[in-house]
Amino acid sequence: LKQRSGGSLLCSRAMAVVEPAAKRHRVDLPVVLGSSSKWRQGVFLRRFPEYGAEFMDPAIDEKAIRADRPEDMTIAIAEAKADALLPRLDKDVLLLTLDQVVVCEGAVREKPEDEQQARAYLASYQRGAGASCVNGLVAHNTRTGKRVTEVDIATLYWRPFPDSVVDHLLSNGEIFTCAGAFNVEDPELRPYLDRTEGSIDSIVGLPVKTLREMLRRVAAPPVTHVLFDMDGLLLDTETAYTVAQQDIVGRWGKTFTWELKAKMMGMKALEAAKILVDDLGLEGKISPEDFVAEREKLLHDLFARATLMPGVDRLVRHLAKHSVPMAVATSSHRRHFVLKTSLHGELFGLMHHIVTGDQVSKSKPDPEIFNLAAGLFDETPDAGTVLVFEDAPNGVEAGIAAGMQVCHVPDCNLSADLRGGAFCELASLESFRPQDWGLPPFEGDTVQPHPSVEPQASTTERGGVGK
């Protein structure tokens, strides 16, 4: 039923499968938001109506909590808020606490103390200096004791604005209640906003997408088994696909865009090729079958040199050391799998088994491949305790449809509208925190100080909007 390949197990036909369990993703505990801000409370109720939140004031001395990095400082304050509220709770809840500081030109900026400081802050924004809103977030499940933390950062840049806007802001007076001396919602300042890196939700102090992911994660049971996608997640093969596919479609003056690539990711080769031919209007010029055949020739040498993505070696060896059952569920067919992993046989040999695209009849976003892969472990796990790592939107959708927890590690080029829905989103596997999922933490994991940020004397939990 299974065939040994490079130390791991390649499944050759289906065994037990795991039935989807979508209902396990529903949070069944009430939410308490630890914030005294009426504005934040109102936004939470509008954006998270399904949770019916209650509100409590942590009432702590934030100025007594210091850290070298603003990221660490906001997390420390948010955790202190949670710890202060826990003894006051009389029922099981999901507790959320937050803190925010504004950082500009290497220093934490608080509410301006006087007009001179406010003018100095605003003058730096006139010169094009960015203001970064650093949010520290904590979610705590009082029923299980599980706690997860996140840092969410968004940065604003303004075009040069006239002194008349500065005079307006000073006269209005609201900026004296705002960290960083700006209100992103001010009608006279808003037209000069040049760009944002990150979400407006993060800037105003309630990062909706991150909070939604944290609520899913903190309500979920501890992870017992792990499933990995392969292309673009474990191995850097997506570059090879892009090069080969652009080489082919370029003959007809076409461009293989990231938007098209996102549609194809995670699908079987022929199905993906049909999408490409249709989207680029290549019917009658090349068939999907001929496209795949030509691409095969171009990819052979490129695949044989595939390298590991950042953080892969550390994570896989860590999970293996702690006897966490792992498997690969890839849409690549078996011949490509063997070719792509030829330089990494020992590492992939740490997997309990491998499921390839030719073992299933349906492509992602159908959950078939994940259900099959989970069913091949020695003991079939509950779907809700399986963690799926994916880089493709189709794969994220497949994992969620299987009732599993999903960690999305998208390419930085993937558009924002194709993200969301997972339990978390990481820039790379280097950022993964096993302890947030009930897994053993990395040994000797330390946080390095950020040399460019100098802490100031106190913090504020409200930046940019004065709420």
Query: Can 83 be counted among the known catalytic residues?
Result: no
CA distance 185 to 206: 15
What is residue 27's predicted lDDT score, i.e. its pLDDT?
60
Confidence grade of residue 347 (pLDDT, cut at 50, 70, 90): very high
pLDDT at 26: 53
Q: For 98-118, how does the pLDDT look when each residue is reduced to its tens digit (9 = 90+)? A: 999 999 999 999 889 899 999
Residue type at 349?
G
List, for residues 386-437, the tens digit of each pLDDT value: 999 999 999 999 999 999 999 999 998 888 888 888 999 999 999 999 999 9
- The CATH number for 31-219, chosen from 3.30.1780.10, 3.90.950.10, 3.40.640.10, 3.20.20.370, is 3.90.950.10
Catalytic pick from 152, 231, 391, 436?
231
CATH of domain 222-441: 3.40.50.1000
* Banded pLDDT at 18 (limits 50, 70, 90): low
Which one of 99, 201, 229, 436 is the catalytic residue? 229
Instruction: Indicate the pLDDT class of residue 63, thresholds 50, 70 and 90.
Output: confident
Domain map (residue ranges) of the chain:
31-219, 222-441
Concerning whether 152 is annotated as a catalytic residue, the answer is no
